[in-house]
Amino acid sequence: MKENLPKPVFQSKVSIEECLLKRRSVRSFKYKKPTLQEISQLLWSAYGITQQRNMFKTTPSAGATYPLEIYCLLEDGIYHYLPEEHAIELIKKGDFRKELVSIVLGQDFVYDASLNIIICAVYERTTLYYGNRGIRYVYFEVGHCAQNICLQAISLGLDSVCIGAFEDEKLKKLLEVNEDVEPLYVISVGVKR
C-alpha cells in the first residue's frame, strides 16, 4: 500500500545557522504522533528529489549512484520511502517499536521517539563503478543523509539522535529487506522530554 506525501516546504523561519547551533543528540523523548507533513519533510530532507530532470537528491552521491534506501518506523508500521514519487510504501503493519528497542541493544528512548528513520545501503550500486573505494563513498553519503535529517528535525522543532549500535541481521529481518540491503544508521526523531 502506497501513500503520497504532502509536498515538502522549501523555506522555514529557522536559519541553517540556528539549526547547526541547536542540533544535539537527544536520548529522552515524550511521544508525539508525527504529522504527515513532518514525515514528508524529514524523508525529503534525507533523500528527496531536488531536480526532476537528473533525479538529483538532497544528499550528494558519488557518480549519482544513490545507493541508499530509507525506511521509517512509525507507531503503526514500517514504511519504505520512495523518493521518485515522494511517497511511502507500507512494508509491515503493526507496532514494532519494542522490537527496535531490542535490536538497538536496549536503547529504550527509540520507543518514545515520534519516528525512527533507518538508513540502509546497497553497496553494489556504488562499488560497481568505483570498486572497493565505493564503500567509502557510501559511508560519506550516509553521513550527509543523517546530517540532513538532524538539521531538518531542528527546523521542525524536533530533536534527534543517531544510533550506530544495533544487530544488523535482526534489523534486516525486521525490515524484510533483500540480502544486499545493509542497515547502516538508525535516527530517532521526536519531542525532547
Instruction: Give the domains, in start order, of the chain with CATH numbers.
Output: 13-192 (3.40.109.10)
How large is the average pLDDT for residues 81-109?
Answer: 98
In the chain, how long is the greatest CA-to-CA distance?
45
For residues 19 and 41, the answer to whether their CB atoms sit within 8 Å is no
**pTM value?**
0.97
Report the distance separating Cα 64 and Cα 167, nearest Å. Answer: 29
Q: What is the pLDDT of residues 107-153, one digit of tens each?
A: 999 999 999 999 999 999 999 999 999 999 999 999 999 999 999 99
Question: Residue range 160-169: average pLDDT?
Answer: 98
Do the Cβ atoms of 142 and 59 come closer than 8 Å? no
Tens digit of each residue's pLDDT (9 = 90 or more) over 21-38 = 999 999 999 999 999 999
Determine what percent of the chain is predicted with pLDDT higher than 70.
100
Residue 25 DSSP symbol: B
Q: Grid coordinates standing for 107?
A: 536503547
Joined grid coordinates for residue 27: 536520548
pLDDT band at 1 (very low <50, low <70, confident <90, very high): confident
